[in-house]
Amino acid sequence: LREPGLNLRVVQLFRDPRAVHNSRLKARQALLRESVQVLRSRHRAEPRGSPRHHQVQQQQHLLVPPALLGGGRAPQPQHRAEFFLGGALEVICQAWLRDLLLARRAPRWLRRRYTQLRYEDLVREPRAELRRLLRFAGLTVPPALEDFVLNMTRGAAYSSDRPFLISARDAREAVHAWRERLSRQQVRQVEAACGEAMSILAY
């Protein structure tokens, strides 16, 4: 970031963790390996015996429905993906919180090179957010790019049933889909695990 020859700028994208959890559940099998890797990264980062390690152990099943835990036993094969997915989201939210707190305390030179973007703001106001981002990066806004962003957020439906298929979608439906697809218990669990980060991001 300090290297003058690079002129590096950082844009960090966030999304409502409830919507993230909904999307990840939809693609649970495709994300199984990634979720396991995320969970392993937490265990590598927290030395055994540390107070933080014990705190993480107490919280690690927060997003996993109690019925899936089987009284402390390994999850049943049919529930493995959801088990690892819930734990991985907790790790993601903890990383977000560290980033958000670091950005708050960052020196001025760093704040000039870093900006945050909420997915919801981008899809609701694509042209305004695109202009803000490119202005931050010192770039111009080609009309074709404006048209592309607008078209991608004004599609006819929420999304396809195939994970990771890039397609135009209805931004309003994409933003609020979690409200219809997550149970109340799932929503409460996500909010409990990600509450601090959600508060800073005004979710």
- Give the model confidence (pLDDT) of 133-148 as tens digits: 999 999 998 899 989 8
- Judge whether 24 and 85 are in contact, CB under 8 Å: yes
**What is the domain count for the chain?**
1
Q: Is 3 part of any domain? A: no
pTM: 0.76
Q: Is 69 part of any domain? A: yes
Instruction: Give the range of the structural domain holding residue 41, as residue numbers without chain letter.
Output: 10-201
Choose among 99, 60, 49, 110: nearest CA to 83.
Answer: 60
pLDDT category at 172 given cuts 50, 70, 90 is: confident
Answer whether residue 191 shows pLDDT above 90.
yes
Instruction: For residue 175, count other CB atoms closer than 10 A to its CB.
Output: 19
- Judge whether 87 and 63 are in contact, CB under 8 Å: yes
pLDDT category at 37 given cuts 50, 70, 90 is: confident
Name the most confidently modeled range: 64-68, 108-112, 181-185, 195-199.
195-199
Q: Is 135 part of any domain? A: yes
pLDDT given at position 101 = 96
Q: Is 130 part of any domain? A: yes
Q: Is 5 part of any domain? A: no
Q: Is 2 part of any domain? A: no
What is the pLDDT of the chain when averaged over all its residues? 80
Mean pLDDT of 145-161: 79
Q: Is 44 part of any domain? A: yes
pLDDT category at 61 given cuts 50, 70, 90 is: very low
Q: Is 1 part of any domain? A: no
